[in-house]
């Protein structure tokens, strides 16, 4: 019950902002890998849908770079994951900027097919002015990206807890729990520590969602 109530409180904040904007509201959900961003973003989108507003879900993971670029520094490289995994130019130009003030409202939610490793060029969708875009991604609050979001959320989960969640989730992908945990330690979470050290994403977040206890999260809104 507490989690549902916290979601409603956050959506209340987003909708107040939405009323004052003359363009779609772009909500960025950041947090370390396996912090629970995707689940959280889906819950927020579902609550907005219940309120009768148009909502679109998107993820930075549909804007990957080609495999050769992603793994240029090695498949286990933390720096490679941090710097080379995603195509931020396409992410900004094809998803976020069209929805800004005076944007053309024609946006795309994918630029690359991760399975086929091929580029994707779909016909752009046209956003309504009151649409709310919910985007999740690990490094969304980098300083050269965060200004393109109207509302910023950081899902805050301890590294140890996220590592255990993530390793369990990716056991089949990496062949064993131990190998998956090693990848989180050496690549994914090592990259997340670079992100936190360089950009301090919590400092620009409008709300911090402390997600260690799934059923009883803690919400901290930025003081104005």
Q: Over the range 24-48, which residues count as b (16 or more CB within 10 Å of their CB) and which as e?
A: bbbbbbbbbbbbbbbebbebbbebb
DSSP state of 86: B
Residue 40's pLDDT is 98
d(CA 162, CA 211): 10
Residue 33's pLDDT is 97
Residue 1's pLDDT is 58
CA atoms 66, 134, 198, 143: torsion sign: positive
Residue 224's pLDDT is 56
Q: In the block, which residue shows the tokens 């907005």?
A: 48
Q: Is 101 exposed, middle or buried (0-12, 13-18, 19+ CB in 10 A)?
A: exposed
Q: Are 33 and 163 in contact (CB under 8 A)?
A: no
**2-213 sits in which CATH class?**
alpha beta
Q: Can you give the residue ranges of every domain in the chain?
A: 2-213
Residue 217's pLDDT is 96
Please identify every stretch of the chain with a pLDDT value under 70, giving residue numbers as ranges: 1, 224
* CB count in 10 Å sphere of residue 69: 15
21-43 pLDDT per residue, tens:
999 999 999 999 999 999 999 99
Residue 223's pLDDT is 74
* CB count in 10 Å sphere of residue 22: 8
100-131 pLDDT per residue, tens:
999 999 999 999 999 999 999 999 999 999 99
């Amino acid at each position: 019950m507490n989690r549902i109530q916290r979601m409603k409180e956050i959506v209340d904040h987003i909708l107040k902002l939405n009323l004052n904007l003359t363009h779609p509201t772009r909500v960025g959900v950041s947090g370390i890998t396996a912090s629970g961003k995707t689940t959280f973003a889906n819950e927020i989108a579902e609550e907005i849908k219940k309120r009768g507003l148009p909502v679109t879900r998107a993820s930075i993971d549909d804007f990957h770079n080609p495999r050769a670029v992603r793994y240029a520094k090695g498949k286990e490289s933390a720096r490679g994951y941090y710097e080379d995994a995603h195509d931020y130019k396409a992410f900004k130009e094809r998803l976020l900027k069209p929805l800004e003030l005076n944007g053309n409202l024609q946006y795309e939610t994918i630029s690359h097919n991760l399975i086929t490793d091929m580029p994707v060029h779909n016909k752009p969708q046209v956003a309504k002015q009151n649409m709310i875009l919910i985007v999740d991604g690990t490094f969304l609050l980098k300083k050269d990206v965060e200004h393109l979001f109207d509302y910023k959320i950081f899902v805050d989960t301890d590294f140890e807890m996220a590592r255990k969640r993530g390793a369990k989730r990716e056991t089949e992908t990496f062949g064993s729990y131990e190998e998956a945990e090693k990848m989180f330690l050496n690549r994914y979470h090592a990259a997340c520590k670079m992100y936190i050290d360089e950009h301090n994403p919590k400092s620009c977040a409008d709300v911090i969602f402390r997600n260690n206890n799934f059923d009883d999260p803690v919400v901290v809104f930025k003081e104005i």
